[in-house]
């Protein structure tokens, strides 16, 4: 999908490949559960979660993987040990196979993000 023109997250998920839709839906559910006070929006063609108008979390269905964007360097730094064994870009955690998404790690990252305000990169 790379960059979607979906107007909302429901449409985004409906357009996602069936093989990845369940994992993307689960990521959304975790975000909505753990990110109290955040607003769900579409930004740069992907679902994103903003606090005070600033995006801190996003996820996307890319051509070769599902990406989870963790836009807070303080949270990334706090989880450096747990993230070390994963395919991680500057602010993007990549999961090449939907069935191998570490949802417990994602939940912990979301909780840490929600716990304190911070500055997205």
**Domain segments of the chain: what residues?**
9-115
* 25 has a pLDDT exceeding 90: yes
At 71-104, the pLDDT tens digits run 999 999 999 999 999 999 888 999 999 999 999 9
Q: Report whether CATH 3.40.50.150 matches the domain 9-115.
A: no
Burial class (CB in 10 A: 0-12, 13-18, 19+), 89: exposed
Query: Which residue, among 67, 87, 12, has the nearest Cα to 57 in the 3D structure?
Result: 67
pTM of the model: 0.92
pLDDT tier for residue 4 given thresholds of 50, 70 and 90: confident
**Residue 1 confidence (pLDDT):** 46
């Amino acid at each position: 999908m790379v960059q979607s023109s979906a107007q909302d997250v429901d449409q985004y998920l409906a357009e996602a490949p069936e093989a990845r839709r369940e994992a993307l839906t689960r990521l959304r559910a975790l975000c909505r559960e753990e990110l109290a006070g955040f607003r769900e929006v579409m930004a740069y063609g992907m679902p994103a979660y903003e606090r005070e108008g600033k995006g801190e979390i996003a996820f996307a269905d890319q051509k070769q993987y599902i990406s989870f964007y963790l836009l807070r360097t303080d949270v990334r730094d706090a989880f450096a040990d747990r993230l070390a064994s994963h395919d991680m870009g500057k602010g993007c955690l990549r999961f090449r196979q939907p069935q191998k998404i570490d949802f417990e790690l994602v939940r912990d990252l979301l909780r840490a993000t929600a716990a304190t305000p911070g500055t997205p990169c």
